[in-house]
Amino acid sequence: MRLLPALLVFCCTSVSAQEMIGHVGGRAALANMYATERPDGSARVTGDYLLLPTMQQRFLEGDRSKQLGVTVLNEGSSPIFYGRPPMGTLQGTWSGGIFKGARFGPGGQERERFEFSETFPSMDGYSASPRCEVSEDRYASTLAYAIENGKLKGLEWRSRVMPADHPCNVAGLKQQAFSGGLRFASGRCTVTMRDLGEYVRVTAENCAEMCGSQGYLEPVLVDKRGGCQLIRPQVR
C-alpha cells in the first residue's frame, strides 16, 4: 500500500507534445516542446528548436509555472544537461498558444527576442509545382507535386537507400481536411505540408506499405524557387 500514492501520481502524469513555429532574433525557427504536468499544475518542459535554414539545433530544459505560464528554459548543445553548463536561457511566458520572451547569454546579458506559436499559417492559397532531387550519404529522393490554391493536383515522392537500393514510391494520395497546412493520405500513409515562411516543410508518416523493407522518406524543405534540402539537424 505504501506504493499506491506514487503509482497514482505516475499513472496520472500528463505529457503533452507541441510543435511550434516562430523566430529567434531574425532567424526563423521550428520548435518541438514536451511539457510534463506536475500535481500542482506547473510543468517540466523539455524539447529543442531548429534554426532555419542553417539546421542548427539547440536543446531546451526547464520549467513552466501554472498561473501565468512563466517559463525559464536552459539551452544547450546536447539533450543531456546534467554536468554541462547551459549555453544560455530562454525566459518568457507560454500561454494562449504563444511562447515569447528573450534569450539570454551565459552571463545574463540579453541577446535577442524570440516568439513561437502553436498555430501554423493556413495554406489555403498556396500554389506551386516544384520538382526536385536531393541526396546525401546513402539516401536519395525525388519529390514532385502540383498544388493550386491549396488544392492537390498531383504528388509523387520517390526515394532509395543504398547500397541495397531499397525504394519508396508514394503516389495516389487524396487530400484531407487539415488546419494549419495541407495533408494528403492513402490508407495509413500521410504526407503533410507546413508553411515555415521561406520554406514549405514536407513530411511523410506511416508509409511503410509503399516502401521496401528498409526504405523511408526523410523530411524535406522546399524553397520558393522550387529547390529542396533534407532536414538534418546540425548540433553546434
- Could you give the C-alpha distances from 131 to 152, 162, 180, 186, in angstroms and in order? 15, 22, 23, 21
Residue 125 located in a structural domain: no
Q: Are 231 and 170 contained in the same domain?
A: yes
Query: Is residue 17 very low, low, confident or very high in pLDDT (cuts 50, 70, 90)?
Result: very high
Average pLDDT over every residue of 163-190: 95
Residues 88, 76: Cα–Cα separation, whole Å? 7
Q: Are 172 and 81 contained in the same domain?
A: no
Average confidence score pLDDT of the chain? 92
Q: Are 113 and 136 contained in the same domain?
A: no
Examine the pLDDT at 10 and tell me if it is beyond 80. Answer: no
26 — phi, psi (to 5°)?
-95, 15
Domain total for the chain? 2
pLDDT at 12: 53
Q: Residue 134 in contact with residue 230, Cβ under 8 Å?
A: yes
Q: Which of 48-52, 131-135, 209-213 has the lowest mean pLDDT?
A: 209-213
Between 222 and 83, the more confident residue is 222
Residues 213, 158: Cα–Cα separation, whole Å? 15
Q: Are 97 and 171 contained in the same domain?
A: no
Q: Are 12 and 48 contained in the same domain?
A: yes
Q: Are 184 and 93 contained in the same domain?
A: no
Q: Are 145 and 216 contained in the same domain?
A: yes
Q: Are 10 and 112 contained in the same domain?
A: yes
| Cell numbers linked to 140 | 536519395
Range of the domain at 101: 4-117
Residue 173 located in a structural domain: yes
Q: Are 90 and 141 contained in the same domain?
A: no
Name 15's Cβ contacts closer than 8 Å, sequence gap at least 6: 34, 35, 36, 37
pLDDT at 82: 83
Q: Are 160 and 65 contained in the same domain?
A: no
Q: Are 50 and 110 contained in the same domain?
A: yes
Residues 129, 224: Cα–Cα separation, whole Å? 10
pTM of the predicted structure, to 2 decimals: 0.86
Residue 88 located in a structural domain: yes
Q: Are 103 and 166 contained in the same domain?
A: no
Residues 167, 171: Cα–Cα separation, whole Å? 13
Residue 122 located in a structural domain: no
Asked which of 94, 117, 140 is the last residue of a domain, the reply is 117
